[in-house]
A and B are shown apart, each in its own frame.
Chain A
Amino acid sequence: MEAVYVMWLRQLKKTWRSKARIIGSLGQPLLFLLALGFGLGAVFEKAGQGNYVNFLVPGIIAMSILFTAMFAGIEIIWDRQFGFLKETLVAPIPRWKIMLGRTLGGATTSSIQGIIVLLIALLIGFRPVSLLGALLSMAFIFLIAFMFTAFGTAIASRMTDMQAFPLVMNFIIMPIFFLSGSLFPLTEAPAGIKAVSMANPLTYGIDGLRGTLSGASHFPILLDFSVIISGAILLGLLGSYLFSKIEV
């Protein structure tokens, strides 16, 4: 079990040591929160949808988790390139344990990132409905983080070069983000967008966050939770399968 711990610890140390990365990855959610929150807030309220900041904050928390988690997973490409991957691949540890350690590490750092965004949101006036809700939201934060770190790992296990990086960014991360009800409510969306969003696991993660933090969810919270935990487990299994097939 020490191997899992070591891989987890490594992920944390690396993130902690790269302060620029922590600060850098807060820029985007902050911008979205301020620009959209204040820019679209009035329109949203006029349309009779209530307080936009309350609606937006869970979406932005999920966004920052999505981005950091996917990148944490995709980091395998860097390890492949700088060689450290080989060191872990020849070690007498089942590969799923290595993958689990990495994924837990990435999930931990991106959860922390999500919590920082939540704290920032508190500063600009966001208030969770209840303390219990805020505590429950931590489960969603961690599961979203785990799911997408595992997803990033799965993708990176099949990728050998950096050229694929922008592709992943534009064709995987962005659609997952925009088609998840993060920025606008799905109730009024056209059927096509609605259908795609329903198939997107992040939708349920965000909905769960909204339910626990803002007190208004589209689906029952138990459904959100079931979908997100199944997604985390399935992608975790897929990630460790693909990771175990890596040849260098």
Chain B
Amino acid sequence: MATESPAISVENLVKKFGNFTAVDNISFTVPRGKKFVFLGPNGAGKTTTIKILTTLLHPTSGNIKVDLYDPVTEQQLARKSFGIVFQDPSLDDDLTAYENMDFHGAFYDVPKKLRKERIEYLLNLVDLWERKDDFVKTFSGGMKRRLEVARGLIHHPKILFLDEPILGLDPQTRNHLWDYVRELNQKEGMTVFFTTHYMEEADKNSDIIAIIDHGKIIVEGTSQEIKEKAKAETLEEAFLKLTGHSIRKEAGTAQDQLRAMAKLWGRR
């Protein structure tokens, strides 16, 4: 039965960029209706894994299934099953907030009437309803983030990927959003897969935690299990014990350079 199979299963996933191994032979499963978190320092391979699961990158090797479908060979079916809130911006700045929401609804075939209702509800939820007809380029960073998260929820996906969802959000909005995500999780059985490097967020909002570092899963289990394994009082203590204290280096990506270029070119 479809409901018996896991929402996501990953076996021996490897992703290499040239000589660099971003994801190093990881395996895990996310049961349906659970909230699963990838907790790890910067550059641990969290985003790369999400990109592979969401068909944006091809894996070097390994078997993956997202809602029964292989994101490499059955892209269309896999894409139907999930929604994603990206870590970096993915809004169209030249469109209004409402248009961004509406276009997303169109991409995911949400019927017009339902789409309207949900957009109104979600924009109110993130406190942007009043600004719905303003161009996104006039929004602050936090507002864009809120819009981004709201947009990812329009089509009520079976599986929701959240890549560092609370980055740049104030505590009020953070709570609102997590309340809503939890509600969808409970009412509709939506599976949640998110990444973060905030201990508290991971602890509070997940059923299963996997700590990932240098492309490998170091430990996986409930918060309680991990604390016991690391003989630590708090999750943070356990995390530091397991991943070490050194600060991670992250090179400026081509993307960052592009952004700088774009400013020079003065468009948008």
Contacts and interface: CB of A to CB of B under 8 A. Distances in A.
Nearest to B76: A92
B93 to A, nearest CB: 6
Nearest to B90: A83
A88 B267 CA distance: 21
Interface in B55-91: 55-58, 76, 79-80, 82, 84, 86, 88-91
Interface string A61-96: 000000000000000001111111111111111100
B225 interface: no
Interface in A1-53: 2-3, 5-6, 10, 13-14, 17-18
Given A78-B262, A78-B268, A82-B268, A10 B106 contact: no
A86 B255 CA distance: 13
Interface residues of B, number: 37
Given A162-B258, A162-B265, A92 B79 contact: yes
B95 interface: yes
Contacts, number: 91
Nearest to B260: A162
Contacts of A84: 90-92
Nearest to A95: B75
A79 to B, nearest CB: 8
A162 B261 contact: yes
Interface residues of A, number: 32
A170 interface: no
B32 to A, nearest CB: 19
Contacts of B82: 90
Nearest to A18: B94
Contacts of A81: 255, 258-259, 262
Nearest to B89: A83
Interface in B238-268: 254-255, 257-259, 261-262, 265, 267-268
Contact of B88 (A83, A90, A162): A83
B108 interface: yes
Given A78-B262, A78-B268, A82-B93, A10 B103 contact: yes
Which of B76, B107, B262: most chain A CB closer than 10 A?
A: B107
Contacts of B261: 161-163
Contacts of A82: 89, 91-93, 262, 268
A99 to B, nearest CB: 14
A14 B76 CA distance: 28
A37 to B, nearest CB: 31
Contacts of B90: 83-87
A25 to B, nearest CB: 13
Contacts of A85: 90
A94 B76 contact: yes
Contacts of B262: 78, 81-82, 162
Contacts of B104: 87, 91
A91 B108 contact: yes
A204 B115 CA distance: 46
Given A81-B258, A83-B86, A92-B80, A6 B51 contact: no
26 contacts: A2-B106, A3-B106, A3-B107, A6-B103, A6-B106, A10-B95, A10-B103, A13-B94, A13-B99, A79-B92, A80-B258, A81-B258, A83-B88, A87-B86, A87-B107, A90-B54, A90-B79, A90-B82, A93-B107, A94-B76, A160-B258, A161-B258, A161-B261, A162-B261, A162-B262, A163-B261
Given A10-B99, A78-B268, 20 more contacts: A2-B106, A6-B107, A14-B92, A78-B262, A81-B262, A82-B268, A83-B88, A83-B89, A86-B56, A86-B90, A89-B55, A90-B55, A90-B79, A91-B79, A92-B107, A160-B254, A161-B254, A247-B57, A248-B51, A248-B56
